[in-house]
Amino acid sequence: MRLKNTVRVVLFLLVLSMLMFFFREYLQGGIFGFLSLLITLSVIFIGFVIFLENRHPTQTITWLVVLGSFPLVGFFFYLLFGRNYRKEKMYRKKYFLDKQAFLTVEGENDPRSEEKLGLMAEHQARLFTLAQKLGNSPISFDTATKVLTNGEETFHHILEQLNKARHHIHIEYYIVRDDRIGQEIKEILINQAAQGVKVRFLYDAVGSWKLSKKYIDDLKNAGIETVCFGPVKLPFLNNKFNFRNHRKIIVIDGMIGFVGGLNIGDEYLGRNDTYGFWRDTHLMLRGEAVRSLQLIFLQDWYYMTNHSFLTAEYLSPQIDEKNHGGVQLIAGGPDNEWSVIKNIFFSMITSAKVSVWIASPYFIPDEDIFSALKVAALSGIDVRLLVPNRPDKRIVFHASRSYFPELLEAGVKVYEYERGFMHSKIVIVDHELASIGTSNMDMRSFHLNFEVNAFLFRTKSTQKLVAEYINDLEYAKQLDLTSFRKRHIGLRLIESTARLLSPLL
């Protein structure tokens, strides 16, 4: 190993010497000449790396255009958002550990699940089989689910169940705020820890960058194990900055679970004047599938701490729920080369017989999903897309709207929600299959973030999602292709520019 490193250093010095010789005119220009040389070489090197990564051609061309047109800005933008060349190396270990944990805990397929899959239509059974193979998670038919609408109902149930915990509480969130609801949850966790309940708290370094040190110290001083996912000290030099844990998970005593779109913060309760009413959807689970949610948390915890808790006290609760329809928890992330959640969405769309209804706050699809939606609509499928009519991330908002003309031309019905900010992340197919979770319909969720979604089949919750979607359309404006084409040329230029950058977002 030392010899290899020595050879690398020698080769690097030789190459550097040759470059300094060929570019000696730059160096004669003093510090500015040297910086120009450095930036030029860096851009050339980055372009070479991008080619070697074999990215999608659209993404490759976009990066090269940005680097060629704006070398300095593009250079730093790439350092911050574009580096994927170590992704597989960084997360390969996590992928294999997660898969081994799944095989250890779940073992062979449950014959009852195989029997239930046999009762589904062939295309539906294939979907859940695909999800199990890609996501390492079985389908459960012994799990009760409850759709929680918006922040008030969601946090009412979360606080209620946290207070009922007797053995352990596991919390994993992208955003945690030190505000009113954040304080309420903190106080409950501290009180429960004082009563002997084991509490583990995992938060994302970037999503929760505003979380105060005092908040964390209060948790730790109460004996709560608190871990930061993907800490970043120097973002421009840290390859992990771009891969964030976007999951929202709560597991209580291994029997109750929560997953969905709501982070921990007052804005998710509509208490922020900027956003106003916040439309969101969460899911509460009770029963067998909570074990899959628990396993996802424990795998993430192990990845950050090297402490494993794959034991019966966390993974073998008493189950008394029977025959509630199919529920499957799927984790997606940069540790899985299959872009698992995106491919399940793709399968849902392409196998639809009647309808595909989608709600997403951010809509930046890759070409596969974009084409699937258009083809489905052209085939006579009732395809609907519900998005916000106001931005919380302006460039993403404009990029999203650039896709609408093609969708409208294909027959997709596009609606903009006007009552407040639409943050639900929902997919409903044929009024029988549904997805609810943390994944947006965008490339970041598909390829970069750690996400988790619940996929439902013929549950009462599926019908509740259908009813809520129909109700949401009452507060939405359907876009008209003719009118949409008449928007101001300046706005269309902004949208086109944002779309050009969308493969980088």
The CA-based dihedral angle spanning residues 314, 316, 322, 327, taken in that order and rounded to the nearest 10 degrees: 50
Rama region for 251: left / alpha / beta (φ>0; ψ in -120 to 50; rest): beta
Distance, in Å, from the CA atom of 83 to the CA atom of 102, rounded to the nearest integer, reads 29
Of 219, 190, 198, 203, nearest in space to 311 by CA: 198
> Phi-psi bin for 491: left (phi > 0), alpha (psi -120 to 50), beta?
alpha
Q: What are the two backbone dihedrals, phi and then psi, of residue 47, each rounded to the nearest 5 degrees? A: -60, -40
Taking a C-beta distance cutoff of 8 angstroms, is the pair 128, 117 a contact?
yes
Distance CA 15, CA 2 (A): 20
DSSP, collapsed to helix, strand or coil, labels residue 306 as coil
Element (H, E) at 433: strand 433-437
User: Please, are residues 67 and 40 in contact by the beta-carbon 8 Å criterion?
Assistant: no
What are the phi and psi torsion angles at 222 (to 5°)? -85, 5
- Active-site annotation, residues: 246, 248, 253, 423, 425, 430
- DSSP calls for 119-146: TS-HHHHHHHHHHHHHH----BSSEEEE
Reduce the DSSP state of residue 27 to 3 states and report it.
helix
Structure tokens at 362: 């951010």
Tokens of 391: 């931005």
User: Within 13 Å, how many C-alpha atoms sit on residue 478's CB side?
Assistant: 10
